[in-house]
Structure 1
Amino acid sequence: MKSLQDYTTVIRPDNNGIFAAYIPLLSGCHAWGQTPDEARAELIYVFEMIQEEYKEEGRSLPEDVELVIANAS
């Protein structure tokens, strides 16, 4: 069974003074919090829900891909 540590996770400040956390590979797997730790804790909860949905549908979570961030120059 996959865990959150198996995926690239992004946590960044949002424009509203809160933090957004998400897994780029998994559509809908995003959460927010007042601190990076709070956002990550919420993301764990969302990830578990998505994992359960995949299981109920008889699907496996996809393998993570390498995330490359390029500078816009």
Structure 2
Amino acid sequence: MIVSISGVVLAGCAVFFVVRSRRATVGAAIVAVVFGFLLASTGLAKPIQSALDGTAQVTGSVKP
């Protein structure tokens, strides 16, 4: 039996474990960047971008 796992899932797991272990190294940063690029090529890119745009609008409209 062959098990196939997406690169997004593997990179996401790696980022999760790096964050949980609180190890901020260059390797951890590279894994996070790779995860971002892989995630951007999935169907989740549009909803994530919409959520970030909405957050930016709310943050920009707050008066100090």
TM range (shorter): 0.3 to 0.5
TM-score (norm 2): 0.36
Higher relative strand content: 1
Instruction: Give the number of the structure whose alpha-carbon radius of gyration is greater.
Output: 2
Asked which structure has the greater RCO (Cα within 8 Å, sep 6+), the reply is: 2
